[in-house]
């Protein structure tokens, strides 16, 4: 006798099928950008590049890295990522921990205080005028100090500490004569690697991809991050194409398209290399607040 088809197996099959389709929808565009950046521009224009690069050439990367501004932008972005991430962790982690304590004075007020900016902002013009009055325009600090407090991250950090650090641990530390600062530094932080990695990754990715704030507040090219430098170079290439004509314009257009792909690879590669090392912490921390133990 034939056994009826197991409904669970059918359901599992379709779940895997949908998952594979979704993964391909995410992975293939990234793969295409990589192979297109190494392929011949004519093959790309003719639609011959699908799974593997055609006539491998590095002209897009050579033209991109000939620009001194690229290296300067890279160094600036690395500086903003390292210093900005460290500064945000130093600011937001203690605030989130303090708000997780039952004995914290004015806990409800500060919770509302940090929740309101998540939905209501001051606007671009008042923010610009405030930053200008503090003398932060065209400085490195303008991309670090004004945006260092993240209300959303503070709420997430508070939830993590509230659910994962028991109060009995503080009571035991008190019996051993441990001060608040020593307890936080020696006990709480080592037990909070997951949330530190998650918040650090969120902040680092946000800073690395940020360009709008730099476009508004930083006109000095020596302080501009990589994303803004790449945007400026692509705009310049586009204007050169518009000035050309005939075969020259077509060649410039093909090279410009390849440079776009190369710029995407150059700007995303460091973050893509960093993520695997933090993935296990990211998977733990991303569930903060979804399951209460």
CA angle 46–47–52, rounded 5-degree value: 120
In a domain, 202, yes or no: yes
Q: Is residue 205 part of a domain?
A: yes
Question: Which of 57, 78, 103 lies at the terminal end of a domain, its last residue?
Answer: 57
CA–chain centroid gap for 164, Å, is 25
On whether both 172 and 30 belong to a single domain, the answer is no
Structure tokens at 154: 């503070």
pTM of the model: 0.79
CATH number at residue 185: 1.10.3720.10
Query: Does residue 290 fall inside a structural domain?
Result: no
Contact partners, residue 107, CB within 8 Å, separation at least 6: 99, 101
One pLDDT digit (tens) per residue for the chain, 293 residues: 445 557 778 888 889 999 999 988 888 888 888 888 888 777 777 777 787 888 777 877 887 788 788 888 889 999 999 999 999 999 999 999 999 888 888 888 888 888 888 888 778 899 999 999 999 999 999 999 988 999 989 988 998 898 888 888 888 888 888 888 899 998 999 988 888 888 888 898 889 888 899 999 998 888 999 888 888 877 766 665 566 555 655 666 666 677 778 888 888 888 777 777 766 666 665 565 444 44
Tell me how far apart the alpha carbons of residues 85 and 89 are, in angstroms, rounded to a whole number.
6
Show the domain range for 188.
Answer: 59-285
Residue 107 sits in the same domain as residue 230: yes
Rounded Cα distance between 161 and 110, Å, is: 16
Which two structure tokens, joined as six digits, stand for 197? Answer: 């990695």
């Amino acid at each position: 006798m034939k056994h009826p088809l197991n409904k669970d197996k059918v359901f599992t099959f379709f779940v895997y099928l949908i998952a594979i389709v979704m993964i391909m929808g995410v992975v293939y565009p990234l793969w295409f950008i990589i192979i297109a950046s190494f392929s011949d521009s004519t093959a790309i224009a003719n639609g011959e590049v699908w799974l593997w690069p055609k006539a491998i050439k590095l002209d897009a990367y050579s033209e991109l890295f000939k620009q001194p501004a690229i290296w300067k932008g890279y160094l600036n972005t690395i500086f903003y990522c390292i210093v900005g991430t460290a500064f945000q962790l130093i600011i937001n982690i203690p605030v989130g921990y303090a708000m997780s304590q039952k004995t914290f004075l004015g806990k409800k007020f500060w919770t509302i205080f940090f929740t309101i900016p998540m939905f209501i902002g001051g606007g671009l013009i008042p923010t610009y005028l405030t930053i200008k009055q503090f003398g932060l325009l065209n400085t490195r600090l303008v991309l670090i100090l004004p945006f260092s407090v993240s209300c959303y991250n503070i709420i997430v950090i508070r939830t993590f500490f509230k659910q994962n650090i028991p109060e009995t641990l503080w009571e035991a530390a008190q019996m051993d004569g441990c001060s608040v600062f020593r307890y936080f530094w020696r006990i709480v932080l080592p037990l909070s690697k997951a949330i530190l990695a998650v918040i650090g990754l969120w902040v680092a990715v946000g800073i690395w991809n940020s360009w709008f704030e730099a476009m508004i507040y930083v006109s000095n090219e020596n302080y501009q991050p990589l994303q803004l430098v790449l945007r400026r170079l692509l705009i310049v290439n586009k204007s050169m194409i518009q000035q050309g004509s005939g075969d020259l314009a077509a060649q410039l257009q093909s090279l410009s398209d390849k440079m776009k792909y190369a710029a995407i690879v150059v700007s995303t590669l460091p973050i893509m290399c960093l993520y695997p090392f933090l993935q296990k912490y990211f998977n733990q921390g991303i569930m903060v607040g979804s399951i209460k133990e």
